[in-house]
Amino acid sequence: MGSDRGPGAVVAGLVLSAAQLPDAKFLLHGDSAIVAPLLARHPELGSRVTLRHAPRVVTMQDKPSQVMRHGEGTSMWSCIDAVKNGEAAVAVSCGNTGALMAVSMIRLRKLPGVNRPAIACLWPSRNPGGFNVMLDVGADIKAEAADLLQYAAMGASYARNGLKLDRPRVGLLNVGTEEHKGRAELKDANDQLALAAEAGGYEYIGFVEGGDLPSDRVDVIVTDGFTGNIALKTAEGTAKLISDFMREAFNAGILSKFAALLALNSLKRLQRRMDPRRVNGGIFLGLNGTVIKSHGSADETGVAAAIALAYQLSSAGFLARLAARVASTVRAGQDAVVDSGADRAEAKSSE
Q: What mean pLDDT comes out for the span 70-77?
A: 93
* 112-281+317-342 topology per CATH: Isopropylmalate Dehydrogenase (3.40.718)
- In the chain, domain spans: 1-108, 112-281+317-342
Residue 134, H or E segment: strand 131-135
Q: Which amino acid is at 177?
A: T
Residue 325's pLDDT is what? 78
Least confident of 34-38, 239-243, 309-313: 239-243
What is the Cβ-side half-sphere exposure of residue 307, based on CA atoms within 13 angstroms? Answer: 27
Query: CA–CA separation, 348 vs 350, rounded Å?
Result: 5
Task: Using the predicted structure, report yes or no on whether residue 339 has a pLDDT greater than 60.
Answer: no
Segment holding 291, helix H or strand E: strand 290-293
Confidence of residue 28 (pLDDT cuts 50, 70, 90): very high
Tens of pLDDT, residue by residue over 246-275, are 888 888 888 788 777 777 777 677 666 655
Dist CA 90 CA 309 (whole Å): 10
More confident residue, 282 or 292: 292
In angstroms, the CA 165 to CA 262 distance is 38
How large is the average pLDDT for residues 88-112? 92
